[in-house]
Chain A
Amino acid sequence: MNIAFGGFAFLIFSGLPIVLALGVSALIAIVALTDVPLSIVAQRVYGGVNSFPLMAIPFFVAAGIIMETGGIARRFVALASALVGWISGSLYMVAITAGTGLAAISGSGSADTAAIGSMLIPDMRKRGYDVDMAAAVIAASGAMASIVPPSIVMVIIAITTNQSIGAMFLGGIIPGLLLSVGLLFGTYLYARRGGMAYKDVQPFSGARLWAALVDALPAMLVPLIIVGGIVGGVFTATEAACVAVFVTAAISIWIYRELTIPRLWPIILKTVSLAAAVLIIVSTASIFSWIIASQGAPRALDDFLRGVTSNPLVFLLLVNLLLLFVGMFMESISAILIIMPVLMPIAIGYDIDPIHFGVMAALNLSVGLVTPPYGICLYIASMVAGRRIEQVSSRVWLPLIPMVIVLGLTAFASPVTLWLPSFFYD
Chain B
Amino acid sequence: QDYTLRIAHTNAADEVQDKGLQKMRELLEAKTDGRATIEIFPNGQLGDEAQLVEQVMLGSLDVAMTANSTISNYITDYRVFDLPFLFPTIAKLNTVLDGPVYGMLEDSANDTGLELIAVYSSGIRHIMTKEEINSIDDLKNVKIRTMQNPIHVDAFTAFGANPTPLAYSELYGALQSGVVDGAEGAATNYTGQKLYEVAPDFAMVGWLNMTAPVFMQKAAFDMLPEDIQTAVLESGRESADWQRQYVDDQEKPLLDALVEKGVTITQPDPAPFQEAAVPLYNAMLETETQQALFDAVMETPTN
A394 CB within 8 Å of chain B? no
Question: Are B58 and A40 in touch, CB under 8 angstroms?
Answer: yes
Question: Which listed residue, B39, B46, B179, touches A235 by the CB 8 Å rule?
Answer: B179
Q: Which residue of B lies closest to A163 (CB)?
A: B169
A53 engages B59 (CB within 8 Å): no
Residues of A within 8 A of B61 (CB): 36
* B residues 126-174 touching A (CB-CB < 8 Å): 166-170, 172-174
Residue pair B179, A164 in contact (C-beta under 8 Å): no
Q: Given A44-B47, A294-B41, check contact A39 B60 (CB 8 Å).
A: yes
Check A52 for interface membership: any CB of B closer than 8 A: yes
* Complex contacts, B55 vs chain A, CB 8 Å: 40, 43
**A165 contacts the other chain (CB 8 A):** yes
Do B41 and A293 touch across chains, with their CB atoms under 8 A apart? yes
Summed over the interface, the residue pairs from A and B with CB atoms below 8 Å come to a total of: 81
The residue that B170 contacts in the complex, of A47, A237, A294, with Cβ under 8 A, is A237
Tell yes or no: A341 within 8 A of B by CB.
yes
What residues of chain B lie closer than 8 Å to A204, measured between beta carbons? Answer: none
Residues of A within 8 A of B47 (CB): 43-44, 47, 290
Indicate if A159 sits at the interface (CB-CB under 8 A): yes
In residues 30-46 of chain B, which contact A (Cβ within 8 Å)?
Answer: 39, 41, 43, 45-46
Contacts of A232 in B (CB 8 A): 177
Q: Are A231 and B177 in contact (CB under 8 A)?
A: yes
The residue that A37 contacts in the complex, of B45, B58, B178, with Cβ under 8 A, is B58
Interface residues of A in 333-360 (CB under 8 A from B): 341, 345
Q: Determine if A159 and B60 form an interchain contact, defined as CB atoms under 8 angstroms apart.
A: no
| A424 in the interface (beta carbon within 8 A) | yes
A56 to chain B, nearest CB (A): 11
In the complex, chain B residues whose CB is within 8 Å of the CB of A40: 55, 58, 60
B54 within 8 A of A: yes
Contact (Cβ within 8 A) A236 B170: yes
**0 or 1 for each of A207-241: is its CB under 8 Å from B? (1 = yes):** 00000000000000000000000111111110000
Which residues on the A side are within 8 Å of B248 (C-beta)?
none
Let me know if B172 and A164 touch, CB within 8 A: yes
Query: Could you tell me the distance between the alpha carbons of A47 and B46 in the complex, rounded to whole angstroms?
Result: 11
Given B39, B54, B173, B178, which contacts A167 in the complex, CB threshold below 8 Å? B173
Tell me which residues across on chain A come within 8 A of B176, comparing CB atoms. Answer: 233, 424-425
B272 to nearest A CB, angstroms? 30
Once A40-B58, A162-B168, A164-B169 are accepted as A-B contacts, the answer to whether A293 and B46 lie under 8 Å apart by CB is yes
Chain A residues closer than 8 Å to B170, beta-carbon distance: 53, 164-165, 236-237
CB-contact partner of B58 in A39, A290, A426, under 8 A: A39
Query: Is A166 in contact with chain B by the CB < 8 A criterion?
Result: yes
Q: How far is the CA of A425 from the CA of B169 in the complex (A)?
A: 14
Interface residue range, chain B: 20 to 34
Q: Report A158 CB to chain B, min CB distance, Å.
A: 7
Is there an interface contact between B173 and A164, defined as CB atoms closer than 8 Å? yes
CB distance from A302 to the nearest CB of B (A): 11
On chain A, the residues within 8 Å of B60 by CB distance are 36-37, 39-40, 43
- Cβ-based interface call for B19 (8 A): no
CA distance A174 to B226 in the complex (A): 62
**Cβ-defined contact, B174 with A236, below 8 A:** yes
Specify which chain A residues have a CB less than 8 angstroms from the CB of B41 in the assembled complex.
293-294
CA distance A296 to B40 in the complex (A): 10
Given A43-B54, A233-B174, A345-B43, also A52-B167 (CB < 8 A): yes
Q: Is A298 an interface residue (CB 8 A)?
A: yes
Closest to B176 in A: A425
User: Closest CB-CB distance, B60 to chain A, in whole Å?
Assistant: 4
Q: Cβ of B169 and Cβ of A37 under 8 Å apart?
A: no
Chain A residues near B256: list those with CB within 8 A: none
Known: A37-B58, A39-B60, A233-B178. A298 touches B173 (CB 8 A): no
Q: Are B6 and A294 in contact (CB under 8 A)?
A: yes
Q: Interface code A235-254, partner B: CB below 8 Å = 1, 0 otherwise?
A: 11100000000000000000
Asked if A341 meets B177 with Cβ closer than 8 Å, knowing A43-B55, A162-B169, A237-B170, the reply is: no
Q: Contacts A166-B177, A235-B179, A290-B46 known; A53 to B169 CB distance under 8 Å?
A: yes
Q: Which residues of A contact B (CB under 8 A)?
A: 36-37, 39-40, 43-44, 47, 52-53, 158-159, 162-167, 230-237, 290, 293-294, 296, 298, 341, 345, 424-426
- Could you pull out 5 A-B pairs where Cβ atoms are within 8 angstroms? A43-B51, A43-B60, A47-B48, A53-B167, A298-B45
6 pairs of A and B residues whose beta carbons are closest in the complex: A233-B177, A233-B178, A36-B60, A164-B173, A293-B45, A40-B60
Q: List 19 extra interface pairs beyond A164-B170, A166-B177, A293-B45, CB under 8 A.
A: A43-B47, A43-B58, A44-B51, A47-B47, A162-B168, A165-B170, A166-B173, A167-B173, A230-B173, A233-B179, A234-B179, A235-B179, A236-B174, A236-B179, A237-B170, A294-B6, A341-B45, A345-B13, A425-B176
